[in-house]
Structure 1
Amino acid sequence: MASQINNRTGSIRQRLKLLQPGPMISGLLIVFAVAALQFAAIPGFERLGLMVFDIYQSAAPRSYEDAGVRIIDIDEESIEKLGQWPWPRTEIARLTQTLSDAGAAAIAFDIVFSEPDRTSPSQIAARIPDDEGNDALIESLASLPDHDSILADSFALAPVVNGFFLLKEDRGKAIELPSGMAILGSSPTVEVEPYRGSVQSLPELNQASAGLGSLSIVGDADGVLRRAPLVFLHKNELVPSLSLEALRVAQGADSILVKTSDGSGETTSAPGALVNLRVGAFEVPTTAAGELWMHFSEPAPERTIPAWRLLSNEMSAAELQHSVEGQIMFIGASATGLRDLVTTPQSDNEPGVTVHAQAAEQIILGKFLTRPDWARGLELFLIILLGGALAILLPNMGALVGAGIGMIMTIGVAVGSLLAFDQLQYLLDPTWPIVALAFVYAVQTLLSFREEEQQRAYIHTAFDRYLSPEMVRQIAANPERLQLGGEEREMTVLFCDIRGFSRISEQYEPKEVINFLTGFLTPMCDILLESKATVDKFIGDAVLAFWNAPLDDPDQFRNGARAALDMVDSLEKLNVSMPSKPGQVWPPEVKIGIGMNAGLCCVGNMGSQQRLSYSLIGDTVNIASRFEGLTKQYGVKIMIGSALADQLEGFALLELDQVKVVGRDAPDTVFALLGDEQMHDDPAFTRLQKHHQAFLQAYREQSWSEASNLLNQYEANYQDNDMSLLADMYRQRIGELSEKPIRSGWDGVYAATQK
């Protein structure tokens, strides 16, 4: 029989080895396919990574810091207080003069004044009929100053940056920038977005402005704005964004320097790919298209000043100067019907002026999100490394273990990407490596499942005549487990027994006893299983359970202790609820004793060739059983050994005695497990522990009188903690010891005589 089993086992192992390369090769092919897609950078495939970056933006927004940037908001309240839009240009001129007089470094308009002001006297005069004797009125109005001229005059006296919109269709005039843009390297015509037309403010307003900048903001293919363009191509000429031009004007810089790949020493990009911009004292890293990765801040009301407060003279001169002096002021609208809304990772309705302001903030603060040149290379490396590792390891470790390792890899990539974003402001896309891991796991698991089904069918055919159905199931799950015996493990063992079960059995019929045991054992087993225990066996009313096998449990000691405490608590509730439950047999005041120990055990399939059971043996198991028996003598519910007590720091443990259990010569210090960390910190328990330790010291020093006095003095402490039986036992023991001579070398160790 044994030789037949071994021969068939060898045959199975050979078959398994032949089957393994299939899933492995399939996994590696998937890895290389994903790597090829990532390397090809096919448009549209980056969408998932961008969505992950959106999540990062929401989870870790930029902390707001005052960078000297403010928004003058034409909000609903401003419209309500000052009248409907558009306001007369004289009001805009007054706003400009107010900001200029208060010392604004730059005044950037997220508004295009493309048509003459309809409220200008000349515009009103043109609409008055000239055939009704209105000549004098028309002449009088026409002689008054034009509102657009008044606005142009205010622009000329202030550091104003006027805005314009760019169009794809060819219409509108050429854009004449007040200041040029210097290019270091080839002209960036490869990636920068090209435009052919424009919508600009009136020529006299542009000529009076210190700067001109584009207001155009274009999101990604899904409509979400993640990158703010800082430069644009208008008829093959570079033009700046509103935020970039505002920074130039605020610093009094002559021009903006544009560096491209072949002019900056970069070699990883094609010639003409934009690398960075320099405006005054600020250097800005950009994408190849001249875009700034936006890192939107948390909401910051202090960034915004409602326009009505400036125009209604509501702010004092000191407050106005404090809010405006040296600041870059962006003027835009958030009122319904006026605002140009964009979708950002944080909001579906963000006014465009906020994007311009936050772009300027990031440049001033030097807080940049960057996607390094090596990012795609790193992502490709992770695809091959992690995906390849999983493809090689998964066929030999099973679906569950593989899922765990794959999950660890996935979490590692995701956490690493998030930390790179939060700590280093790097944009590293975790999606490609995760996609590779997911596809490798899915395909290999399906292939392995198919092969395992074939293996199980083969094993059943081979062994059904020789082994029990349970053993066949185990061999089918893992053919390596044919050997009898087990392995040594550090384990935690629990014995639980019902006190006085023989007396209970005498009171009821056998069916009623089974009914009672079912009602007791079911919730106890639920507690054990929830605490990651393995329920070994039931021995009548007793339960044997253990931790750290067959699966590793790093927290086995504390899991075991919590399970024992939960079992005691559960029994107290059962004693209240069960007697009133219809059809349930339940004796009055059921009590249990629990013995626990920790140490080396031998665990595995044990038994005969005909029948096996997964169990454990060893000195640790025997001692736990003895501790359970001693709980009755010491009057405690849970007794544990020193090896386990050493692992339960913070639990409420009370040293009971030093005991030699039956069948063992070496003594052990035993403890009562009374509660968890909460009880450990209870002053009542602290007093009990302190008083009992003083008693034990007197007892072991053979100071019988002092020991007896301490027991009597602290009687209330023992009663409050349901330890009266322990005190009574020691009184009886002291009485016996004090009446007869103590043997030489007595060390206080108690030799138990009963199991």
Structure 2
Amino acid sequence: MLKRRLLPTLLGLMLVALLGLVRLGDPLPVASIRDMGFDFYQRLLPRAGTDSPVRVVDIDDASLARLGQWPWPRSMFATLTDRLAELGAASIGYDVLFPEPDRLGTQNDTAFAAALGKTNAVLGFSVSAGAPPLALQPKAAIAVSGGDPAPSLPAILGAVAPLTVLSDAASGLGGLSLNARDTAGTVRRAPMLWSDGTNLYPALSLETLRLALGVPTLVALGDTRGGGTLEGVRVGPFTVSTTANGEVVLYDRPEQPAQSISAWALLDDGYASLRGEVEGRIVLIGTSAAGLLDLRATPLSPSRAGVLIHAALIDQIVSGQFLSRADWVQGLELLVMLVSGVLLVFVVLNLGPLAGLLVALTLVAALAGGSYAAFATRGWLIDATYPAAAALLVYTAMVYFQFSLTERNRLELRRAFGYYVAPELLTRIERSAAELKLGGEARPISVMFADMRGFTAFTEAHAPTETLGMLNTLFGALGREIVDRSGTIDKFIGDSIMAFWNAPVDVRDHPRRAAEAALAMRARLAALNAEGKLQGTAIGIGLSTGDALVGNMGLESRFDYSAIGDTVNVASRVETESKIIGFDIAASDALRQAVPDLAWLEAGTVQLKGKARRLPIHILVGDAALAQTPAFIALHEAHLSWLGGSGDLALCSALAARLDPRLARFYELIPGRADDFASSA
């Protein structure tokens, strides 16, 4: 059994190892599913927060409808900047690119530059691989503590930058791109620092916060282990926790409508009423208009303006609520996946699919619960999706392997028993396959040996093909009587049949089944002879019951299910003695005692080969119905009287002749068997 499970076990372990390699490779589908799992956590528990320190001036569809199509003249941005400064904005960040001169004249650029120069304003650049290199110098001084993180930061291969006249006037310069690849996909991480190989540049959110705090220098916290990665950024009193490549994991919160101010309202005559919304706050200017193509998906929203994401990043930094995914997390996830997979391999193969399902569901629940608890209490992003999916995949695969193993065992059982037992018994064997001890087990059984009389003479008088045809007819008919009574045909040995009952599965009242099979075989043989299918064929049957060893008597890859032991030997010897006593069915005393209601006659005691003591045997005349007939009762009483020394053997012979002609030979041979009946006398 262990060898049979070796292949499924190896396949299961190989699958677990393969899943581990896939996890190490971290292909896009795996990463995407992991991110969606983290998004789900954010939807369950979004970032909490009170009133935001950030306000967004939104160039929305309503503003475009009131003030005209895009692009607006720079004079409008000059007015917007002046009014925000007048209303007391702590700093102003533009999530708008100004890469070309104003189409209505350079005087508008000059006016806008003048307005920028009078306040804490930040302009931005957009990273683009196809654009020229970024020629502008950073406005913020960035000190590095620890190792230089530049090699691990997102690279500025090219950038769309603002006009020099505008950037020179602005107090700050920051990156507008929300991820290193500048795609329009879901924003889950945003770079805090960029590198062009020489200088470090802050993101728009970080630069705008720096100016609002009045901090001249940012501190990049490089790792102290020499890995060339970033651990965080310090801006004034705030420390920004980042990934190794300088990104902040966005911890999203539901959109706050009160956070946004429509741009037209600031350009309207009643703008002064907005002082309470603007004063002392960081103000970001951007667009939510669908036509201006700055809408991104976030964990909580399928469509959110890019400027609102920058605002959320500032809000997250100020609130100090960060999500982290430390370097050790991937190792933990891989270890959990491997341990879970190996556990399921052995549980399914050894305890079965139901136990495996319970373990798999428990593992999935524990993984999901532990992962969510880590998210909710510590802000740790520990992936449960891949270990859980891997556990379910391993479970499914192992159930399939287990099914294949079971099906293979079923086919082997059918091969071993299909030709020798009844279909009903075969079904029971298949259901009880796990209980079979193919290495051998001791159990009580009833054994039959049946042998054709005069086989040697028959073979001498007939061609081999005729002999084979006769044996097939004989064995086919007699074997059917055995299997119809829940017997197991062990083997055909030349002109003999060996069969037993109560193995490999329990057969109720198996001694009776064996005796009834013997009687049925006698009747079937008589019918075949009468029909002319056989000609004068006779058999002898020996029966015994008792303990024996049954099981696989060969190799595990090729075996015969058989029985050995004293009970088997007695049945074989009794069948041999049936020739001497002159009757076709003989049985041991143990079998006669197991079914005493049948028509039995004592046949004396015989010296069986291999036995030190003589053993009593009996002949089976007929079934229980015959045993109740007056004719048999009379014979039985006369037989007992003779055994007791007071009866007449001639009377027994006469009564036997009237009951069953087969008994004539039995009584005819008794005088020559005086020793067999000495103990009875």
Q: Does 1:53 align with 2:38?
A: yes
Q: Does 1:77 align with 2:62?
A: yes
Contact 2:133 2:156 survives alignment (8 Å): no
Q: Does 1:207 align with 2:168?
A: yes
* CA RMSD across the alignment: 2.9
Deviates more, 1:440-449 or 1:379-388: 440-449
Residue 342 of structure 1 and its aligned partner are, at CA, apart by 2.5
- Structure 2: runs of 5 or more not aligned: 438-504, 511-681
Q: Distance in 1 between the 2:2 and 2:133 partners?
A: 74
Q: Does 1:177 align with 2:138?
A: yes
**Residue of structure 2 equivalent to 1:426:** 380
Q: Does 1:261 align with 2:246?
A: no
- Partner amino acid, structure 1, of 2:12: G
**Residue of structure 2 equivalent to 1:246:** 208
C-alpha distance 301-477 of structure 1, shift in aligned 2 (>3 A): farther
**Residue of structure 2 equivalent to 1:223:** 185
Residue 43 of structure 1 and its aligned partner are, at CA, apart by 6.5
Q: Does 1:330 align with 2:284?
A: yes
Q: Which has the larger radius of gyration?
A: 2
User: Which of 225, 250, 254 pairs up with 1:294?
Assistant: 250
Q: Distance in 2 between the 1:609 and 1:310 partners?
A: 100
- Partner amino acid, structure 1, of 2:388: I
Contact 1:371 1:426 survives alignment (8 Å): yes
- Partner amino acid, structure 1, of 2:179: V
Contact 1:70 1:328 survives alignment (8 Å): yes
**Residue of structure 2 equivalent to 1:161:** 122
CA-to-partner distance for each residue in 1:483-511, whole Å, 9 max, x for gaps? 9xxxxxxxxxxxxxxxxxxxxxxxxxxxx
**Residue of structure 1 equivalent to 2:360:** 406
Q: Distance in 2 between the 1:116 and 1:183 partners?
A: 36
Residue 474 of structure 1 and its aligned partner are, at CA, apart by 5.0
C-alpha distance 459-607 of structure 1, shift in aligned 2 (>3 A): closer
Give the match's secondary structure for 1:331. Answer: strand
Q: Distance in 1 between the 2:425 and 2:434 partners?
A: 12
Contact 1:74 1:335 survives alignment (8 Å): yes
Contact 1:332 1:339 survives alignment (8 Å): no
- Partner amino acid, structure 1, of 2:250: M
Contact 1:64 1:300 survives alignment (8 Å): no
Give the match's secondary structure for 1:73. Answer: strand
Q: Does 1:284 align with 2:245?
A: no
Q: Distance in 1 between the 2:196 and 2:256 partners?
A: 34
**Residue of structure 1 equivalent to 2:554:** none
Q: Distance in 2 between the 1:606 and 1:302 partners?
A: 80
C-alpha distance 471-316 of structure 1, shift in aligned 2 (>3 A): farther
Q: Distance in 2 between the 1:173 and 1:378 partners?
A: 40
**Residue of structure 1 equivalent to 2:520:** none
Contact 2:52 2:259 survives alignment (8 Å): no
C-alpha distance 465-44 of structure 1, shift in aligned 2 (>3 A): closer
CA-to-partner distance for each residue in 1:574-596, whole Å, 9 max, x for gaps? xxxxxxxxxxxxxxxxxxxxxxx
Deviates more, 1:222-231 or 1:247-256: 222-231
User: Which of 348, 351, 360 pairs up with 1:394?
Assistant: 348
Give the match's secondary structure for 1:87. Answer: coil
C-alpha distance 169-441 of structure 1, shift in aligned 2 (>3 A): same
Q: Distance in 1 between the 2:180 and 2:375 partners?
A: 21
Residue 75 of structure 1 and its aligned partner are, at CA, apart by 0.5
Give the match's secondary structure for 1:56. Answer: helix
Give the match's secondary structure for 1:217. Answer: coil
C-alpha distance 333-32 of structure 1, shift in aligned 2 (>3 A): same
**Residue of structure 2 equivalent to 1:306:** 262
Contact 1:185 1:272 survives alignment (8 Å): no
**Residue of structure 1 equivalent to 2:442:** none
Residue 481 of structure 1 and its aligned partner are, at CA, apart by 5.9
Give the match's secondary structure for 1:194. Answer: coil
Give the match's secondary structure for 1:308. Answer: helix
Q: Distance in 2 between the 1:364 and 1:474 partners?
A: 72
Contact 2:253 2:300 survives alignment (8 Å): no
Residue 90 of structure 1 and its aligned partner are, at CA, apart by 2.6
**Residue of structure 1 equivalent to 2:483:** none
Equivalent positions of 1:488-637 (< 5 A) are 608=508
Q: Distance in 2 between the 1:178 and 1:84 partners?
A: 32
**Residue of structure 1 equivalent to 2:337:** 383
- Count residues with an aligned counterpart: 442
Residue 330 of structure 1 and its aligned partner are, at CA, apart by 0.7
CA-to-partner distance for each residue in 1:538-578, whole Å, 9 max, x for gaps? xxxxxxxxxxxxxxxxxxxxxxxxxxxxxxxxxxxxxxxxx
- Partner amino acid, structure 1, of 2:368: A
Contact 1:67 1:364 survives alignment (8 Å): no
Residue 376 of structure 1 and its aligned partner are, at CA, apart by 0.8
Give the match's secondary structure for 2:291. Answer: coil
**Residue of structure 1 equivalent to 2:228:** 272
Q: Distance in 1 between the 2:121 and 2:271 partners?
A: 22
Contact 2:49 2:319 survives alignment (8 Å): no
User: Which of 371, 380, 384 pairs up with 1:417?
Assistant: 371
Q: Distance in 2 between the 1:176 and 1:464 partners?
A: 87
Q: Does 1:344 align with 2:298?
A: yes
Q: Distance in 2 between the 1:52 and 1:420 partners?
A: 13
Contact 1:30 1:436 survives alignment (8 Å): no
Residue 206 of structure 1 and its aligned partner are, at CA, apart by 1.6
- Partner amino acid, structure 2, of 1:208: A
Q: Distance in 2 between the 1:43 and 1:308 partners?
A: 43
Q: Distance in 2 between the 1:96 and 1:471 partners?
A: 93
C-alpha distance 339-190 of structure 1, shift in aligned 2 (>3 A): same
Q: Distance in 2 between the 1:82 and 1:606 partners?
A: 94
- Partner amino acid, structure 2, of 1:243: S
C-alpha distance 69-475 of structure 1, shift in aligned 2 (>3 A): farther
Residue 87 of structure 1 and its aligned partner are, at CA, apart by 2.5
Contact 1:30 1:439 survives alignment (8 Å): no
Give the match's secondary structure for 2:165. Answer: helix
Q: Distance in 2 between the 1:471 and 1:306 partners?
A: 84
**Residue of structure 2 equivalent to 1:357:** 311
C-alpha distance 405-87 of structure 1, shift in aligned 2 (>3 A): same
- Structure 1: runs of 5 or more not aligned: 1-15, 124-145, 484-604, 611-755
Residue 64 of structure 1 and its aligned partner are, at CA, apart by 4.8
Q: Distance in 2 between the 1:50 and 1:191 partners?
A: 21
Give the match's secondary structure for 2:126. Answer: strand
C-alpha distance 326-607 of structure 1, shift in aligned 2 (>3 A): farther
Q: Does 1:104 align with 2:60?
A: no
Q: Distance in 2 between the 1:271 and 1:481 partners?
A: 60
Q: Normalization by structure 1: what TM-score?
A: 0.54
Residue 41 of structure 1 and its aligned partner are, at CA, apart by 4.6
Give the match's secondary structure for 1:374. Answer: helix
CA-to-partner distance for each residue in 1:142-186, whole Å, 9 max, x for gaps? xxxx32222222212211111122232462651122221111233
